[in-house]
Amino acid sequence: MQHSISARKKVVSAVAVAGALVALSACGGGADPASGGDRNGKLVVGATPVPAGEVLAYIQKDLAKKKGLDLEVKEFTDYVLPNTALDEGSLDANLYQNAPFLDDFNKSKGTDLTSVTGVYLPPMGVYSKKTKDVSSLKDGAVVAVPNDTTNEGRALQLLASQGVIELKKDAGTTASPADITKNPKKLVIKELEPAQLPRSLDDVDAAVINNNFALDAGLSPKDDSIHLESVENNPYVNILAVKKGDESDPRVKKLAELLTSPEVKQFIEDKYKGSVLPVEG
């Protein structure tokens, strides 16, 4: 009797070990948590509502089915959660950020996210209800800028390009107010959450606003900004990003092809009329 019980225990233990090995196998080897490990299943993509969410919605409605792609879009209104969700596995990919922002995020958070392809350039702009020209900002004017490292640096470089401030030569894409070497107008730099910047226009003299938040607030970057970022040699093209190793996911490849297709290029040109620019190539 004792021998029989012992044998049964061994069988149960063997089954438990086998089950655990199967579970570990399902969770590893590049399996995709957002779609239950099935690279032929639904592709879950995070995006800010405008323009990324609108571009993806167009693909979802008009192009994905023909390509054999089951696409789900989850929208976010900040710049941290889409990358956190991608790293943790509740997203398969995201579209909302540029390469300098992604590089800074990886360094600061210890993540390993990577770019698949560039999609469009959303030029950053300076907006104001009190002046029509950046050079006409009054002495002591309050200028609001994004408070995250990469977008703040981008905003300060944009102001520097208009000659109202000067920055250290090596300040680069991560410039901060501490890197301002000349400020002849004694501008007051006010750091705000990027999503708050459009709402700040009544309270500040000018605000440097990311394209997606400007569009979401009903502003036209092309028509309403008092200065718009140049597209020439611009590193801030928005990218489709995934967790490193997932670039070969066939669903990701399908989405990358659609995002850079003539149909999507035409959609961007028709919808945003120069306020968002599709990548060439």
The CA R_g of the chain, rounded to the nearest whole Å, is: 24
Q: Cα–Cα distance between 275 and 206 in angstroms, integer?
A: 19
Per-residue confidence (pLDDT) for residue 147, from 0 to 100: 96
Tally of structural domains, the chain? 2
Longest dimension (CA), the chain: 95
* Whether residues 96 and 85 fall in one domain: yes
* Whether residues 113 and 154 fall in one domain: no
Which residue range is the domain that position 56 belongs to? Answer: 35-122+235-278
* Whether residues 75 and 213 fall in one domain: no
Which pTM does this prediction carry? 0.80
Nearest to 52 by CA among 250, 252, 237: 237
Per-residue confidence (pLDDT) for residue 281, from 0 to 100: 59
* Whether residues 112 and 129 fall in one domain: no
For the beta carbon of residue 8, count every other beta carbon within 10 angstroms.
10
pLDDT tens track for 51-89: 999 999 999 999 999 999 999 999 999 999 999 999 999
pLDDT tens track for 6-64: 444 443 444 343 444 333 333 333 445 565 556 779 999 999 999 999 999 999 999 99
**Sequence-ordered alpha helix ranges (H) in 28-146:** 54-62, 64-67, 81-88, 99-109
User: In the numeric block, which tokens belong to residue 205?
Assistant: 């003299």
* Whether residues 208 and 74 fall in one domain: no
Identify the CATH number of the domain in which residue 188 sits.
3.40.190.10
* Whether residues 242 and 224 fall in one domain: no
> Would you say how long the chain is, in residues?
281
Q: What is the mean pLDDT of residues 219-237?
A: 93
* Whether residues 50 and 80 fall in one domain: yes
Confidence category of residue 142, pLDDT binned at 50, 70, 90: very high
